[in-house]
Amino acid sequence: MRTTRTYLDYNATAPVHDAVRDAVAGALAMAGNPSSTHREGREARRIVEAAREAVARLVRGAPEDVVFTSGGTEANNLAIASALATGAARRVIVSAVEHPSVLEAARGSGAPVDVVPVDAEGTVDLDALARLLAGDDTPALVCLMHANNETGAIQPVVDAARVARAHGAMVHVDAVQTVGRLPVELAALGADSLALSSHKIGGPAGSGALVLRSGVALAPMIRGGGQERGRRSGTENLPGIAGFAAASEIALSHIGDTARIGALRDRLEQCARSASPDLRVWSAGVERLVNTTCFSVPGTKAETLVIALDLAGVAVSSGSACSSGKVAASHVLAAMGVPRDDAAGAVRASLGWGSTSDDVDRFADAWTRIMAARSRKRDIAA
């Protein structure tokens, strides 16, 4: 019986580092509340503030501008809600390929929402963004992800921020998929805020952060205890924050591992194409995250391929993993103009810190057998 599993779904959740487990266990063993003034409380507070410094280093921000959240989804929601609540923005502009936590937060905000199209490679249309900003002088918040979670396409955030600034707009960047994979610097991107998530970089789920540009006001969505300098009430998730800090430090130290991971991703694509010459890799014509590939084979269904690979011991996904386990049509590929039948067969493989050459070999073996079985069925049907 097969016991070895190959995990290729890092964009959904990265495996937790051993050092992160130790940090979480240490925090769980503590009795103090970070808001208490006794020794135990002060020690808990020390862990929170040290973590704030670690997360700030991850994006070269200021520790006092790090607001801990329950994850990237809350961070995205908080950025949008706050910009509207403070009056810094009265409308929201989003790209067509944003994460659902951005798209749905914008659409549910009650403010006017404009959607910027992308080209066939999934890159935002900067001219269209400029036209939207020039055509309406209502203060705007522009939301643009740093890299797409499905295709890995890296967006021209710096250029988009320059356009936004020229029209007095604020900029929020979902950097959930890029921290630990690309050098990320808040100021260099031109962002007013960045959303981060712990479990994408080998930390625990349930912890994330919104990192602000110094001087940006933040209106809280959660009130009641005054934690996080009044910006996000509720007793801090000490174990999650401690684990997030440990994962942040590891991510910074492993940023040079991208060449190795990129070589594995490229070989995985080559192996997949060898077994299915009609395979199409989406966003292959632009700069992508080196760990991510999203591909389709004409005439296949994503759910069938994902299940077949899973049974063969290989974990991949279809599109975003944030839809309660549902396999649904990708709004990202639809925005890119990918035909519905091709989009319905899109599979995403994403690698990370624990990925090895053996993982690629096991994927290649499973994929080759699945494609061979598909070919035999076609021949019989013919």
Query: Are the beta carbons of 328 and 306 closer than 8 angstroms?
Result: no
Token pair 């020229």: residue: 166
Name the catalytic one among 143, 271, 294, 322.
Answer: 322
Q: How far apart are CA 109 and CA 86, in angstroms?
A: 13
Cα dihedral sign for 184, 259, 295, 316?
negative
Q: Name the pairing type of β-strands 347-350 and 292-296.
A: antiparallel
Number of Cβ atoms within 10 Å of the Cβ of 56: 19
Question: Helix or strand or coil: residue 20?
Answer: helix
- Which DSSP category does 109 fall into? S
143: buried, middle or exposed (CB in 10 Å: 19+, 13-18, 0-12)?
A: buried
Q: How far apart are CA 197 and CA 342, in angstroms?
A: 30
Give per-residue burial for 198-228: e unless 16+ CB within 10 Å, then b.
Answer: bbbbbbbebbbbbbbbeebebbbbeeeeebb
Closest CA to 147 of 326, 292, 327, 6: 292
Question: Helix or strand or coil: residue 371?
Answer: helix
322 is an active site residue? yes
Residues identified as active-site: 322
